[in-house]
Amino acid sequence: MSSKVETILQSLTLEEKISLLAGKDFWETVPIPGKGVPAIKTSDGPNGARGEVFTGGTRAACFPAAVCSAATWDPEFSQRIGGALAEETKTKSARVLLAPTMCNHRHPLGGRNFESFSEDPYLAGKMAANVVKGLQENGIAATIKHFAANEQETDRLTVDTIVSERALREIYLKPFEITIKEAKPLAVMTSYNKLNGTHADSHSFLLKQVLRGEWGWNGLVMSDWGGTNSTADSLNAGLDLEMPGPTRWRTVEAVTAAVKKGEVTEQTITERARNVLNLIEKVGAFENSDIPPEQSIVDPKHSKLIREAASQGITLLKNDGNILPLTKAAVKGKKIGLFGLAKEALIHGGGSASLNAHYRISPEEGLKATYGSDVEFKYSKGAHTYRLLPPLAQGCEDLKGNAGWTMEFFKAGQTDKPLKTTHEIKDSSFSPILDNEAKDKEVRFSATFKPTETGSHYLGCSGIGPTTVTVNGKVVFEQKDNSPDPMGFLLGGNPEKEFTVDFKKGESYKIQIHSMPPSGGSDWGILAGLPGFRMGFMAQEEHDMDMITQAKEVAKECDIAIVFTGHTPAWETEGQDQVGFHLPRDGSQDKLVETISSVNSSTIIVNSTGVAIALPWLSKVSALVQAWFPGQEAGNAIADIISGAVNPSGRLPVSWPKHIEDAPAYGNFPGEVKDGQLTVKYEEGVFVGYRHYDRVAKEKVQFPFGFGLSYTTFSVGNGKVLQSSNTEAFNATAVVRNTGHVAGSTVVQLYVGRKQQSPEHPIKTLAAFRKVFLEPGEEQTVELSLALLDFAYFDEASKSWRIDEGDYDFSFGQSTANIESVATLSLKAWTLS
């Protein structure tokens, strides 16, 4: 125990201890200056330190999303990224980064999958542990999240996740266990959901028995933002810090009353406060308590790392006729068509992972910089990909005649006299998350709009609470109920119903948008009582434009066509799960690929999503590159792969099913509603990802876990395994050879399973891996280390980890479907309680 912390604790009154157990505001903890306790600042998020403003704040470096990092299969990159994230966090004056996110990819439609690493708990745990090491060896506290079983966004504040203890231990807790034991993160964030009937923030099994008990961890547990659901229960279970502040559950009055009633002891309050003070000490805030203004510092070392990590994670999935790479010599003087999202840098997903990047390199920019004047590029978008119509800004005057809108706040039910009026609001959207003045108020936006075109123009609107739009006093839109997905609204992906309004060029129209705070809202967390809305607008000519015909004509005249597909942050975001397995919007991207490939036989697809998608056109294209969300150097990293400057070495950290119906959680995602409660049952048990696909017909899998192509070829052979005498450890070796003509990297993957297969156990489980770089013709012996616990199963009856006596296959390969060498060992029974 720290003598400083204990001295401060002894000086604190009960009320002062209680005050430490919730945030001061959205990002900071509560200081007690008179007792020498400073505030410390936290910051999102997993692929960059965003700072304190959700949208348009201080610029920050955007690193590859976790799924892209995991596709490198190189924990060294994760540690280097962690170190760079620490440096970025310091520029935002924060001492705690809310990262990494490390829940498993249970289903391809999981909205936040991109922010997490893998379907495999071992791979996820190893990558996350190294991010934590990189952060903390550079003085920034890591916050691993979300603990636990948080694999969907639908009804995430209230959904009840039903999962067996075996699946929980082997799949969903395992990444956290690996990270806790190997990297000792200073903080853990609880998830929003219930687990087997109890909210995670009040879950004694998770927080007391497993986290602090069995794993022996002694850091700080904080809630997700708005994810505290009780006073005494969360305190007793082990939740140290309610975030954000001001508190909803831990007022001095509420906690003092709970102490007096015997619902929580003062000793528990002291222990919770001790953990807060310990974190403050471990991040050095007692010595230096300053929280200076945020800075935006572009570090060339970070830019280089981002480009390198991104290019190592980008995964080549198809390359018929070796159409790739497009070397400079091979394409000199040719015409290359760029289509789809070529001008958009899809660098991150939506929500906590979004930020105002220092810069963002689009694929078009990266390719033009790579090839210069040697190649003629033609561009045609070819498809509408927006999810939300852009907010109305142009042609609007506020009530004072200035450009923009007028915003007014009113007391609920009293809209005759505004409490506050603000002019020159830039557009027709209002997100109140950091505006405490909006709480429990009605908000009205007003503008005079002069259209530049005559026609039946398109509008779309949605609100957190009931919302109405009028044009010249006539109601053109009315949302009578609360948003079905409030977090989706906040994070930019709430679906909007489009409608049309007739406008004449040059005439003036008075538009008003009136939004109420949501009714009810006891389960709305940080959005309780907050109004908010957005209204989008698109001129008829732009909305109804025939984009596909133009793209088709461009493709005909090009030697090579590269179509960029993917999800913008509005389509793949925290707050909601994917709309569907096919690329949005309304089949437009699939139609674009089909059309381009029908007129150009040299069609290459570069897809930027954090998840597997439907590929109905796969047989018609020459190449498919999965770029994930690769960070601010996206276009340069993609160009490195396309041009052959970098030999692709990314390998899938997820299985890629052909059809959504083939996913193991299909039918149990996102669950069923009964009596107003959404419940999702993890009925697939431990058979998640490849553990399921190993047991079904191969034709159900588009691309197997661990798969990825290269511009060269490799072989893995002569696998050998030796168990250390009378220990739980194994040493394995395999010989890897570059059998092609280009230097490159592959990943040696080692899976372990029973020789005599059992329906109760996976056929094989990833237990070790190593990425290795080889020159053409080079051969190398790769060493791997593993332990019994890396492939043991959890026996619910005895509450222990076990290995049954018998023969086990140790399978070496380059994917789950490409096993090239097998060593068999006879193992004795083993138990770990």
Give the residue numbers annotated as catalytic, written as ranges.
Answer: 224
For 785, the enclosing helix (H) or strand (E) is: strand 779-787
Task: Return residue ranges of the chain for CATH 3.40.50.1700.
Answer: 300-384+554-700
Contact 332, 375 (CB under 8 A): yes
Cα gap 105→116, rounded to integer Å: 7
Angle CA 491–145–679, to nearest 5: 70
* Distances in whole angstroms, Cα of residue 323 to Cα of each of 326, 328, 417, 559: 7, 13, 67, 12
Residue 680 to residue 670: CA distance in whole angstroms:
6
Short-list 307, 272, 280, 236, CA closest to 84: 307
pLDDT for 171-210, tens place per residue? 999 999 999 999 999 999 999 999 999 999 999 999 999 9
Instruction: Tell me the pLDDT tens digit for each residue of 279-294.
Output: 999 999 999 999 999 9
Question: Where, residue-wise, is CATH 2.60.120.260 in the chain?
Answer: 396-426+432-531
What tokens does 579 get? 């709309």
Structure-token match 């906590």, residue found? 352
CA-based end-to-end distance of the chain: 28
Q: What is the pLDDT of residue 767?
A: 98
Q: Write out the two tokens for 464.
A: 């957190």
DSSP string, 792-825: -EEETTTTEEEE-SEEEEEEEEEETTEEEEEEEE
Q: Are strands 830-832 and 818-827 parallel, antiparallel or unpaired?
A: unpaired
Tell which residue, 626, 431, 614, 674, has the closest CA to residue 532: 431
Q: Which residues of the chain register pLDDT less than 70?
A: 1, 433-436, 487-488, 492-493, 521-525
| H or E segment to which residue 593 belongs | helix 588-599
Which CATH code for domain 712-832?
2.60.40.10
The architecture (CATH level 2) of 300-384+554-700 comes to 3-Layer(aba) Sandwich (3.40)
Q: Which residue, among 245, 238, 225, 227, has the nearest Cα to 19 in the 3D structure?
A: 245
Grouping H, G, I as helix, E, B as strand and the rest as coil, residue 700 is helix
Domain with CATH 2.60.40.10 in the chain: 712-832
User: Considering only CA atoms, which of 234, 269, 270, 231 is closest in space to residue 250?
Assistant: 231
Rounded Cα distance between 741 and 753, Å, is 34
Phi-psi category of 319—alpha, beta or left, where left has phi over 0 and alpha has psi -120 to 50? beta
Considering the domain 396-426+432-531 in this protein, what is its CATH number? 2.60.120.260
Q: How many CB atoms lie within 10 A of CB 303?
A: 19
Q: What are the angstrom distances between the C-alpha of 575 and each of 397, 436, 459, 570?
A: 33, 21, 23, 10
75: enclosing H helix or E strand: helix 75-91
CATH number of 3-282: 3.20.20.300
User: d(Cα 830, Cα 270) in Å, to the nearest integer?
Assistant: 41
For residue 515, the cross-strand partners are 443, 467
User: Which position has the token pair 């289903």?
Assistant: 107
- The count of C-alpha atoms lying within 13 angstroms of the C-alpha of 214, restricted to the half-sphere facing its C-beta, is 18
Q: What is the DSSP string of 303-368?
A: HHHHHHHHHHH-EEEEEGGG-----HHHHTT-EEEEEESTTS-----BSTT---BS----HHHHHH
Q: Which amino acid is residue 601, in one-letter code? A: S
* Beta-carbon contacts of residue 418 (< 8 Å; ≥ 6 apart): 408, 409, 410, 444
671: Cα separation from own chain's centroid: 21
Residues 6+ apart with CB under 8 A from 248: 226, 228, 242, 528
**Dist CA 635 CA 341 (whole Å):** 11
